[in-house]
Structure 1
Amino acid sequence: MSLTLAMYNAYGIVLSADRRITLTINRTDTLKESVPGTDFEQKIFLLKNGYGLSYSGTSSSFIAGPDGLTRKIPLSVILQNYLGQIKPDKFSPRNII
């Protein structure tokens, strides 16, 4: 379970999120077990032009590498790589969706 919050007040906007990643282990077709994976995952990202992004839910995705092999990559790594490629003059919330 993840928790992300966004609040605003007279001083600005506050983003908050937990740092835990829960792993799901498929024991059988019907039996799944959830266990804590780490308490150090980055779930909040400061973006250009004063925007922020946080996520909850699935913490990794399967990505095909240059060698054709599929790897499970943490979502925080995918976001850091993608957001680092956006040019500051082209940045808006619409560009990241």
Structure 2
Amino acid sequence: MFRHRAGIRLVVLRDTDAARAAIQRALDNAEPGEAAGLGRALELLGTASQTDSELIRDWTLQILRDAGVDPKAEMNAVRALRAAEPALDLQTAVDLVKNVARR
């Protein structure tokens, strides 16, 4: 009768270690004109400190912005999310919208 809510079922993938290693290798062999940009890229990777929740929230808000939908218009927001990501199940879309609407 009662269902346990498992929460939002999304996975955030991060592969910054591989990117950092590739940029470092490029920096080690870079021409002087390329070094500054590659160094800045390494700095940016080092400061990428958003939590999974923040990344999911930003992703949700971006989809809603692109669709021109206010997160507080929950039904329209759920429709917009599911239209953008057809594999997103209804409960997850509802949870995502509720999370961004209350902030």
Please report the TM-score for the alignment, with normalisation by the length of structure 2. Answer: 0.28
1 or 2, which has the higher helix percentage?
A: 2
Compare CA radii of gyration and give the structure with the larger one. Answer: 2
The structure richer in strand per residue is 1
Higher relative contact order (CA 8 A, sep 6+): 2
What's the TM-score, normalizing by structure 1? 0.29
